[in-house]
Every structure is written in C-alpha cells, then in structure tokens.
Amino acid sequence: MLPIQGQNSSIEDRVFPQKFTLQIKGRLYSFAKPKVMGILNLTPDSFFEGSRISGNSTLLLKKAEKMILDGAELLDLGGYSTRPGAKDISVEEEISRVQPAFSILKKEFPEILLSVDSFRAQVAQAAIDAGADIINDISAGELDPMMLQVVAESGLPYIAMHMRGTPQTMQQETSYADFLNEILHYFSQKMDNFRKLGIKDVILDPGFGFAKTLDQNYQLLRQIDLFQIFGCPLLVGVSRKSMIYRLLHTDPEHALNGTTALNMVALLKGANLLRVHDVKEAKETITLFEQLYP
C-alpha cells in the first residue's frame, strides 16, 4: 500500500492543477489550464433526466453546440447508463446508440475532442472507427479483458476510473479496510500495467459515486490531491450526483449549486478536468479560480 500523507489536510492546503500535455492523433493538447468535459448521455435512463439524448440527432447537435459555445473543450458520449442499478444492455444496442452519434458530431464539429464512455472493447472500437479521440472506461479494464488491447493499439488517451463490481452491484461494494490507500494501490497497479502495454497518455478518475458511500466520496474529495503522485491529469466527475443531492435533501434537478461548489474545491485540490452536465457554470468556476490564483 502507498502511504498517505496529510490526513488532516484542509482547504488551505491547496495543490493546484499540474500542467500536462496529451498526444491525440499526432497533435499535442495542453492541460496547462483546467478544462471542461461536457456529458452527452445517449441513453433513456441516465440518472439526470436533463442529460438524456436517445436517438434524437437534432437534440444531440443542439446540446453539443451549446456545450461548445459555453466553453467545453471535450465532449463525453456514452450509450450505457452507469447509474446504480441501471439496466444492462447488449453490446449491439450500445454500439447502435454510440457509433452514429460520433459520426454526426465529428462531421459537424471536427475540432472538438470526443470521448467514448464505455467499458466494452467492441463499443470503444466502434467509436474509434467513427472518430473518437479518447476512451473513458469506468472499470479501467476490469470489465472487459480486451479493452486495454484496444486502447494500446489505438494510441489514444485513456481515462481510467476506480470502481468495484458492476453498475448493477457497485453499491454493495463499499466496504474497505483502508479506503484511500486501497484506491491508491489500485491505480498504482493499473499504471504499471498500462506502461507494460504501451499505454502512454492516461487520465485518472477516482470514481465519485462508484462503489463509495456518501462519506467516502467526501473523504476522497478532501484528499484528491494525493493522486497527483501518479503524474497524470485528474478528472473529477461529481456533477449532480447523489453525494450532493442526498446530502442537501433534494434531487439531481436541483443539484447544480452544490456541483459548482464542489467543482471549485476540486480545482483547489488539483483537478485538471471537470466532467459536467452544465458546461457554462463549470467554465465560469474555472474563470473565477484562475482570477483568484493566476
């Protein structure tokens, strides 16, 4: 296990985002400043109703255009709902949702970076064939043994997230002997494996809401700066999640204010990438952060 330092860290112990570059299809993209990733759910059952786009190309283009105009530099497309207890769907159905959307967006917005949110190698490959620039895997290769081979062969950046179990079982997988150390050890092993496979550009996502209790989510956010030891960009995805709306006794529809507050904390603790439903508000948060700490 990796030792944890600063167990009593506070908001005063600021660890600002480190500067990184990612190579994507022969071009270098700078993470000298935090970026915003907009969420496009190509599903009928994602936990936040306002994010759902299911088989509607007009709505897809409209939402994508608004996110780009609001300041998103990456868009994350997923065809499989990963909310707790979500319905499982076939690989074929997931591909039928994802692949056309990538083709449409790549044609309409060729400069925007597109990420495929899937833990299935076949879906990732279908998205790559349609123009995907990044692979976002909630299981870091745990749920499909072929995923890492697809990532390695593609040469694309890989977002590796921490979770346990599956979307259907993860909320029964929240018992840890040493919570933070176990997650750090998980990523330590993953990074060793990625290097052996030749996967060079990795973004780490600690996995807020995935196999974690409400209290564990906040413990993770308080000490997310610990993950900078891996020398990779950090993605934080807390947007409208239950760690916010349950604590505030509300629902996803009314969790934007809480999301904005926690996104600022994430930036203060070293986040490089905010994955959000509401791009404009996240971009404004980054602007305020940069004004406070130029």
User: By three-state DSSP, how is residue 24 classified?
Assistant: strand
Q: Is 241 a catalytic residue?
A: yes
Query: Catalytic one among 63, 241, 269, 283?
Result: 241
Query: Nearest 5°: CA angle at 125, between 86 and 114?
Result: 75
Phi then psi for 134, rounded to 5 degrees?
A: -145, 150
CA–CA gap between residue 154 and residue 135 (Å, rounded): 10
Q: Is 212 a catalytic residue?
A: no
Length of the chain: 294
Sequence-ordered list of residues with C-beta below 8 angstroms from that of 169, at least 6 positions apart, any chain:
none
CA–CA gap between residue 202 and residue 31 (Å, rounded): 13
Q: Which two tokens stand for residue 220?
A: 């993770």
| Residues facing 52 on adjacent strands | 41
Instruction: Give CA separation, 259 vs 29, 62, 157, 235, in Å.
Output: 26, 23, 26, 14
β-strand pairing of 74-78 with 158-161: unpaired
Q: Which positions are catalytic?
A: 241, 275
